[in-house]
Chains A and B, each alone.
Chain A
Amino acid sequence: MISERSSVPPADAAAKYEAVIGIECHVELKTASKMFCGCPNAFGGEPNTQVCPVCLALPGALPVPNAAAIEHMIRAGLAFDCAIPAFSKFDRKNYFYPDMPKDYQISQYDMPLTQGGVVRYWLADGTLRECRLTRIHLEEDTGKSTHAGSGDGRIAGSTYSLVDFNRAGVPLMECVSDPDIRSADEAVAFLDALKRTFVQLGISDVKMEEGSLRCDANVSLRLRGAAEYGTKTEIKNMNSFRSVHRAIQSEIERQTGLLERGERIIQETRGWDEAGGVTHSMRSKEKAHDYRYFPDPDLVPMEIDAATVERVRAALPELPIARYERYVDAYKLSVAQATQLVDNASLAEYFDRAVDSAKSPAGVLNFVLGDLSRLANESGIEVAHSKVTPEALAELVALTDAKTINSKVAKDVLVRLWNDGGSAKAIVQADGLAQVSDPAAVGAFVDAALAANPKSVADFAAGKENALKFLIGQVMKASRGTANPALVETVLRDRMR
C-alpha cells in the first residue's frame, strides 16, 4: 500500500487543468425477494438466515429471475431516456471470491437491459448539467465478508474471514456514466440526481449506510481546452456522498501535483482512505482480470416489447428534474427551496396539491417549508400524513393573503389544524379570529390600553420609542391578536400626538 499525501496545489495550477470524471455505481433494487430466488431482500437479518439452495449456490440449484427487478430496470432506463433494447440476456462473470457463492456472478455483458441515456441534474447555484450514461445493467449482489483476527475488521492483518450470504443474490443495478463530470461538486450532484430519481421511482431506498448504493469513480486530468483524455485512475471504497466528494477532490489535487512536477499518472485502482483523507494505490496483481463472460445457460433471453415499454413509461411519476424545473421556472422557487421540496417527494406532492387549491405558490411554500416542516420535525409525523390537509392549508394561505387574518393568528390556526384537523375558515369564523381593521373597533382597544398604562404614555411622550411597542403588544393581547397591527400603530400614534 503506497500512500501519497498530496499537498494542495496552488490555485493557478488548479485552474490550468480540467478534471474528467466518470462514475460507476451499484444500487440495490427494492424488491420483496432476491434476484433469482425467493429469499427476502431485507437488510440486517441474523447471518445466513436469509439463504436458500439458490443463493447459497448449493449443487443443483437454479436461478429464476425476479420479474419486478426487470421492470425496475425498465423504469430506471426510461427515467434517463435510455434505449430499452428489444433483446437482452444474462451472462456469467467468472471469478472466485469467498462471498460470491457460485464463484461467478450473474450479470449482463454485451446486451444490457438499458443502453445510453442521459442524467440531467443541477448544481447548488442552479446551473443545469447533463451526464450521459453508457448503460445500466442488472446483476446480483454478493454476500459480505467480515475480516477477523486483526482487531480492526480490515483485510490487512486479518487471519481469517467470516462470510454471511444474506445479501448474496440481492438484485443490483450497475449504472455506468460517460466521463462527462468535471468536478467533485458535479459528481455529488450527479449522484444526488440518481438517488432522488431511484427513490422517486420506488426502485431503491438508496441507503448508503446500508450499502445499497456503492460507487467508484474514474478520474483523469487534462489541460483546459484539450480534447484528449489524460491517464485515469479508478477510485474505490467511497462509502458516502461526502467521501465521494473528498476522494475525488483529493485525487484531483494529487494528479495536479504530479503533473505540475512533470511526473506521470499511472493507470491503476486507488482506494479511498476515509481516515487519512487520501487515496492510495491498490495495485497488487497488475494482471488484468479475465472474467470469461458467457451467456448464462441456466437462463433464457429477455425480449422487452414496445407495448411493455409504453406501459411502464405511462406509469412513471413526475421525475425529480421535471419537478425541479417546474418549481424554479413556474413557481420561481429558489434552487435551495426547490431542491428541498424535490428531495421530499411526499412533501412536494402535498405542496403541489395545496398550490392547486390556493393558487399561491409563495404563500404555500412559506408554510410548507416553515411552520409545517417545523411541526413535522417536532412530532415525527410527515406533513403529508398530518391532520392538515392540503385544502385546509390552501384556505389558511388564502385567509392570510387576503389579510383576513394576520400572520400571528395564522400560526395559531395552523397549530390547531395540526392538532385537530378541520377547516381553517371554520376555525377563524367560529372563534372570531378575523382581523379587525375597523378604526372604531381598534380605537376602543387602543383607548382601553392607554387608560391602563399611563406610565408608558408618559415614556413615549419623553421620546422612548420602546413604549410604543409595549402598547401595541397590549392592544394585540386585548384583541386576541385580531387587531390589524398596522392600524393599531397608526391609531396609537394619532392618540398620543
Chain B
Amino acid sequence: MASDRIDVRHVAKLARLALTESEVLRYGSQLAGLLTFVDELRGLDTEHVGATAQVVESRNVTRPDVVGPCLSREDALAGAPQAQNGFFRVPKIIAAAE
C-alpha cells in the first residue's frame, strides 16, 4: 500500500534528493504511514473556513527604496564550495536542470 500512495522517487526528484533503493523503500513506508496519520484531517469540516497562511494579520509591510550596504566580495564568496575570478563556480548546467 505504501508505494501506492506516494511516488517517492518522483518526489525526491522534485526535491533534488538522491535516494538509495533502501531509502526509497524505507521512506516510502514511513511517508505512507505519515499520510495515513494526516488523513485524519479529512474528518474536519473546513467547508466554510478560510485558509491561514499567516497567523498575524499584517498587511503592506514594505521597505523604502533605499540602497543599503552589500557584503564584501570576500564575505560573499567565503562560504563558496568553489569560486573562480569572483564568480561562484558550479558543474556544467544541463538544460534539464531547470
Contacts and interface: CB of A to CB of B under 8 A. Distances in A.
B50 interface: no
Contacts of A49: 70, 73, 76, 86
Nearest to A94: B14
A159 B92 contact: yes
B72 to A, nearest CB: 8
Nearest to A285: B96
Interface stretch (B31-39, B41-49, B56-64): B56-64
A62 to B, nearest CB: 11
B63 A161 contact: no
Interface string A277-306: 000001011000010100101011111000
Interface string B69-98: 111010011000000111111111111111
Contact of B97 (A65, A68, A98, A295): A98
Contacts of B95: 155, 282, 284
A31 B87 CA distance: 25
A33 B66 contact: yes
A485 B41 CA distance: 96
B86 A67 contact: no
B60 A303 contact: yes
Contact of A70 (B62, B71, B87, B93): B62
Interface stretch (A14-22, A34-42, A219-227, A447-455): A34-42
B87 A47 contact: yes
B97 to A, nearest CB: 6
A267 interface: no
B64 A162 contact: no
A302 B92 contact: no
A145 B93 contact: yes
Nearest to A162: B87
A279 to B, nearest CB: 16
Chain B binding site: helix, strand, loop or mixed by DSSP?
Answer: loop
Contact of A38 (B61, B66, B90, B96): B66
A48 to B, nearest CB: 5
Contact of B86 (A48, A53, A98, A145): A48
A50 interface: yes
Given A49-B70, A51-B76, A67 B85 contact: no
B89 to A, nearest CB: 6
B65 A31 contact: yes
Contact of B59 (A53, A68, A300): A300
Contact of B65 (A67, A95, A149, A162): A67
Contacts of B97: 96-98
Chain A interface, DSSP helix/strand/loop, else mixed:
loop
A426 interface: no
A154 to B, nearest CB: 11
Contact of B71 (A40, A51, A147): A51
Contacts of B65: 31-33, 66-69
Contacts of A47: 73, 85-87
B14 A292 contact: yes
A96 B67 CA distance: 28
A261 to B, nearest CB: 29
Contacts of B92: 147, 149, 158-161
Contacts of B53: 89, 295, 297
B93 A53 contact: no
A149 to B, nearest CB: 7
A33 B67 contact: yes
Nearest to B58: A300
B54 to A, nearest CB: 6
Interface of B: 14, 16, 53-54, 58-71, 73, 76-77, 84-98
25 contacts: A32-B66, A39-B68, A40-B67, A47-B73, A48-B73, A48-B88, A49-B86, A52-B70, A96-B16, A97-B93, A97-B98, A145-B93, A147-B93, A149-B92, A160-B89, A160-B90, A162-B84, A162-B90, A163-B87, A165-B88, A282-B95, A284-B94, A284-B95, A285-B96, A301-B59
Given A51-B70, A52-B68, A284-B96, 16 more contacts: A31-B65, A48-B76, A52-B69, A65-B61, A66-B62, A97-B93, A147-B93, A155-B94, A158-B92, A160-B91, A161-B89, A162-B87, A162-B89, A163-B87, A290-B14, A303-B59
Interface of A: 31-33, 37-40, 46-53, 56, 64-70, 89, 95-98, 145-147, 149, 155, 158-165, 282, 284-285, 290, 292, 295, 297, 299-303
